[in-house]
Structure 1
Amino acid sequence: MPKYRGLLKINREILDEINDLGDMILATIHGDRSIDEGHLIGGFRVIPLTIEKEKINIAEKILREKGPIFEVKPFKKLKTALIITGSEVYKGRIEDKFGPVIERKVKAFDSEIFYKVIVPDELEVIKDEILKSKNMGAELIIVTGGMSVDPDDKTPGAIKATGANIVSYGTPVLPGAMLLLAYLEDIPVMGLPGCVMFAHTTAFDLLLPRICAGEKIIRKDITRMGYGGQCLSCNVCTFPDCNFGKH
């Protein structure tokens, strides 16, 4: 059981190698998820009443030479900038419902929104706010809304116009398929689709813990999300204790 809260990482290759030895088994939960202090992450059993000492020695050697099976990465307190796009929200015609959701989710991983602004759907304005956030010391930049293929949606173009490296525009996850992830130098920039505002769990919930734990997301990480990427929208959500996002 872990001694502190963080992102659980499990070395699948070492786990399989230990279980391949025979006469002993190690069962675990899925990795790449948040866990709390004292959370059950696995159990070990010897199958027969006795086991050859040599097998225990081999298992210990594997762990010494190849590293631990389990790792818990603590969450970092990222200074987060939140840029909410939408001309109707900007003009006060409709209420901002994105902000409270994102603030709650970010806070759950020990980070905080240090800069929040509402802007119209104008590419140059959005781009300037992203660059301004970077210059203010943002360690994570989140841009909400305007992520579809509608001509009025400017967020993807604005993120690209900053010179950010686009890791992926689109994720094989439902809900959350239109999510964009990029890096402006080393700063993660996320463009969030509207579903994040009302769906309980989306692609955002799968990537945010990893980013808050300091992981650098590459395209392969995104493409592998398709297996287990369909949320079942259960009446009672048990995420992350469910199959969503597990691969």
Structure 2
Amino acid sequence: MIFGPTPLAEARGAVLAHTLRLPNRVLKKGTVLDAEGVEALRAGGHAEVVAARLESGDVPEDEAADRMANAMLRPLVARTRAATGRVNLLAETAGLLRVDAALVDRLNALDESLTLATLPDFTVVQPKDMLATVKVIPFAVPGGALHVAEAMLRGAAALSLHPFRPLKVGLVSSELPGMKDAVIENGIEATRTRIEALAGTMLPPERCAHETAAIAEALGRLRKAGAEMLLVMGASAVVDRRDVAPAAIIRAGGTIEHFGMPVDPGNLLCLGRIGETPAMVLPGCARSPKVNGFDWVLERIFAGVPVSPKALMRMGVGGLLKEIETRPLPRGEAPRTAPVAAPRRPRRVAALVLAAGRSRRMAPLNKLMVSDREGRPMVARVVENALASRARPVLVVTGHEHERVEEALSGRPVLMTHAEDYAEGLSASLKAGIAALPPDVEGVLVMLGDMPLVSAAVLDRLLAAFDPEEGRAIIQPTFRGKQGNPVLWGREFFEAILGISGDVGARHLTGLHADRLFNVEMSDDGVLRDFDTADTLKGL
């Protein structure tokens, strides 16, 4: 490729190096000059122009990027069109990204004109996430270098995406005398949240004494129930591969493959197997939702990536998790100096609970005030689920019998707003809630007061999927492909929601903005079940 000042007599077919503003038009950088463009330059007083002229064998940047991207395509990996010498590779599904780092290094060392940048190996990705970008640096590359690059990329997978499998997971939580029930339940819920975030389901957990025989029997029951992965959350930390919980895996007919891992927190993970079923004793830090070594192992198993003792022992580089963005501070006191990289600010998404309806289909009862076996009104259970999620603030819209609703929710850290015109229908409640949201929220989960089976874990999955910059500005739960509630709306739709009228919600907006909609498939039908008649209440 010849680059530099080029006489106009030789500029036809050359690539313009810099944007030029002429009296009647603008010629942008990267424009391939044709006869009309050359004449426009001459009329504008230019005798020469800085441009790139392709030589025999040179390949234009977009064609080169296009060919490299095509050589990289693998199942579940999509691509964008080539532009300015760049093509992005995208995920088509949620899963675990594998990157052949050695191949990427060899490709980037091949010729300075060709570059490939990727996410780190073993990154968890969601649909539409960018996995890698191919960028051709100059306006053209030598054809010989491009041929070698294509051969390298076709011969081996620089990228591969391993989708998460919907595994059934069994959890045994052992107990010692004096353990607080809240500690046990928090550990179970943290595990359930992890599993559901990877498209799995957790079987009803087994709770038993912290004894080898009791844990082994519980593991056997979970295997019979169809568990495809077995987890033991011991009441006491494992100190040896012959300790109580590892011994239970052996007693249940399994083996212990490795004890310990070079990841902190997560050092005391114990990896085993019962037949072909992975079996693990979890480190104590697994009771916390914060990232630890167990997460790394869990992600690989759900993605069908083998986890061998050798794989565990190679997790040390990057295995110090105490100061990463998702765990910005150590488990003890915060350091006196701020970390080098500030943690990414989480998006502020509010939960909006609509509790203003007149319950006409259940009259004379107010369905929101119907109590469960523990005496909690339905609306209180919905609000408690919202409070247990990461959504903040939680705002409740009242209307019909607002005094009773407010009394049922007294003492809970929620905001209240009253829809004076609630009798006009659902849109009135929705608009009152949107209008009362704090100005700094980036989105809102619109929750219905008669859907108490939508758990905090479900809400957090919706929150995790919300990313307007990546095109996920409306997040909608589904079960077996059927649309459910609640729906998460980005701030960009607040104005449109405020313009709705009548006894309707905002669902029709999803059809108008399908390019901004993202569906999250759930493992149970709680997102479909509302309880607005006497018959449906019987099922609750």
TM-score, normalised on structure 1? 0.87
Which among 198, 208, 212 is matched to residue 288 of structure 2?
198
Counterpart residue identity of residue 187, structure 1: T
Write the distance in 1 (CA, Å) between the matches of 2:290 and 2:223: 29
For residue 179 of structure 1, what is the aligned residue in structure 2? 269
Are residues 1:134 and 2:228 paired? no
Cα shift at 1:132: 2.3
Write the distance in 2 (CA, Å) between the matches of 1:177 and 1:95: 21
Runs of 4+ in 1 over 4 A off after TM superposition: 89-95, 235-238
1:119-172 CA-to-partner distances (Å, cap 9, x unmatched) read 11111010111122223221011110233339xx62122123223232211111
Which among 130, 144, 147 is matched to residue 54 of structure 1?
144
Corresponding residue SS for 1:7: strand
For residue 115 of structure 1, what is the aligned residue in structure 2? 204
Counterpart residue identity of residue 151, structure 2: K
Pair 19,158 (structure 1): closer, same or farther in 2 beyond 3 Å: same
Pair 115,89 (structure 1): closer, same or farther in 2 beyond 3 Å: farther
For residue 234 of structure 1, what is the aligned residue in structure 2? 328
For this pair of structures, how many residues does the alignment match?
235
Pair 56,98 (structure 1): closer, same or farther in 2 beyond 3 Å: same
1:169-201 CA-to-partner distances (Å, cap 9, x unmatched) read 111111011111111111111111221112611
For residue 176 of structure 2, what is the aligned residue in structure 1? 87
Write the distance in 1 (CA, Å) between the matches of 2:181 and 2:288: 20
Are residues 1:103 and 2:192 paired? yes
Counterpart residue identity of residue 141, structure 1: L
For residue 163 of structure 2, what is the aligned residue in structure 1? 74
Give yes or no for contact 1:88–1:94 (8 Å, CA) kept in 2: no
Pair 193,119 (structure 1): closer, same or farther in 2 beyond 3 Å: same
Write the distance in 2 (CA, Å) between the matches of 1:94 and 1:27: 43
Give yes or no for contact 1:14–1:69 (8 Å, CA) kept in 2: yes
Cα shift at 1:111: 0.3
Are residues 1:24 and 2:114 paired? yes
Counterpart residue identity of residue 328, structure 2: C
Pair 206,95 (structure 1): closer, same or farther in 2 beyond 3 Å: closer
Cα shift at 1:95: 5.0
Which among 93, 97, 101 is matched to residue 4 of structure 1?
93
Write the distance in 1 (CA, Å) between the matches of 2:237 and 2:183: 18
Counterpart residue identity of residue 185, structure 1: G
Give yes or no for contact 1:80–1:112 (8 Å, CA) kept in 2: yes
Q: Which runs of 5+ in 1 are unaligned?
A: 239-247
Write the distance in 1 (CA, Å) between the matches of 2:212 and 2:343: 36
Which among 220, 242, 251 is matched to residue 161 of structure 1?
251
Write the distance in 1 (CA, Å) between the matches of 2:115 and 2:182: 60
Counterpart residue identity of residue 42, structure 1: A
Q: Within 5 A, what are the aligned runs for 1:28-43?
A: 28-43=118-133
Corresponding residue SS for 2:102: helix
Write the distance in 1 (CA, Å) between the matches of 2:184 and 2:312: 32
Tell me how large the CA RMSD over aligned residues is.
Answer: 2.1
Corresponding residue SS for 1:41: strand
Write the distance in 1 (CA, Å) between the matches of 2:179 and 2:214: 12
TM-score, normalised on structure 2? 0.41
Counterpart residue identity of residue 319, structure 2: G
Give yes or no for contact 1:90–1:120 (8 Å, CA) kept in 2: no
Pair 133,57 (structure 1): closer, same or farther in 2 beyond 3 Å: same
Give yes or no for contact 2:246–2:256 (8 Å, CA) kept in 1: no
Counterpart residue identity of residue 103, structure 1: R
Write the distance in 2 (CA, Å) between the matches of 1:172 and 1:56: 40
Pair 54,87 (structure 1): closer, same or farther in 2 beyond 3 Å: same
For residue 213 of structure 1, what is the aligned residue in structure 2? 303
Write the distance in 1 (CA, Å) between the matches of 2:139 and 2:301: 44
Are residues 1:65 and 2:159 paired? no
Pair 183,95 (structure 1): closer, same or farther in 2 beyond 3 Å: closer
For the pair shown, the structure with the greater C-alpha radius of gyration is 2
For residue 225 of structure 1, what is the aligned residue in structure 2? 315
Q: Which runs of 5+ in 2 are unaligned?
A: 1-89, 330-341, 345-540
Pair 89,31 (structure 1): closer, same or farther in 2 beyond 3 Å: farther
Cα shift at 1:49: 2.9
Pair 142,94 (structure 1): closer, same or farther in 2 beyond 3 Å: closer
Which among 279, 286, 304 is matched to residue 189 of structure 1?
279
Corresponding residue SS for 1:31: coil
